């Protein structure tokens, strides 16, 4: 199985700044409008950058014909493509794929067939604002850059024993 087509939005300084506060999220979709694909046999992924207030489409990748045949080797290109994503939304995902996704830091999220991508992004943003779930909090913290001045601030704080 191979990647047959990949379109990425050109990186601008504005998009790079946006990505500093955003999470990359993938959606298994054949029409780029709704989630309608099983992870293993997904014909395409739409990838968005999402933060609390905005979202931007950043990439679409398409694959050749895939079957739900239990052949794990076909998933390697998908894992590689999704590197850097915090989550992948799909209609279904097998147990082996779940283990592999979680091991590389990607949260699989099962949704009902036909769930609109724009609605899922809105729900994700609402969760970011309201207090994220454990997987989302972990993804947000992983994405944060370490602030080197934080140590100096802590050293200047008063300590009580």
In the prediction, which pLDDT does 10 show? 60
67 to 32, 39, 79: CA distances (angstroms): 20, 11, 17
Higher pLDDT, 75 or 34: 34
Q: How confident is the model at residue 8 (pLDDT cuts 50, 70, 90)?
A: low
- The percent of the chain in helix, strand and coil, each rounded to the nearest 5, is 35, 25, 35
Mean pLDDT of 83-89: 94
Q: What is the mean pLDDT of the chain?
A: 83
In the prediction, which pLDDT does 77 show? 87
Q: How confident is the model at residue 86 (pLDDT cuts 50, 70, 90)?
A: very high
Query: pTM for the whole thing?
Result: 0.78
- Residue 68's φ and ψ, nearest 5 degrees, are -90, 75
pLDDT tens across 88-128, in order? Answer: 999 999 999 999 999 999 999 999 988 999 999 999 999 99
- Do 69 and 61 contact (CB within 8 A), yes or no? no
């Amino acid at each position: 199985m191979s990647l047959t087509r990949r379109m990425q939005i050109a990186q601008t300084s504005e998009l790079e700044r946006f990505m500093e506060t955003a999470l990359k999220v993938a959606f298994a979709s054949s029409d780029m409008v709704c989630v309608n694909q099983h992870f293993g046999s997904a014909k395409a992924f739409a990838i968005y950058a999402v933060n609390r207030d905005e979202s931007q489409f950043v990439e679409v990748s398409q694959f050749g014909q895939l079957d739900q045949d239990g052949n794990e080797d076909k998933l390697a290109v998908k894992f590689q493509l999704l590197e850097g994503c915090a989550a992948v939304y799909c209609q279904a995902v097998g147990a082996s794929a779940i283990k592999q996704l979680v091991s590389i830091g990607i949260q699989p999220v099962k949704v009902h067939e036909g769930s609109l991508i724009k609605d899922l992004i809105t729900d994700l943003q609402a969760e970011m604002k309201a207090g994220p779930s454990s997987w989302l909090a972990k993804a947000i913290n992983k994405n944060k850059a370490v602030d080197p001045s934080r140590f100096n601030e802590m050293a200047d704080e008063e300590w009580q024993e």
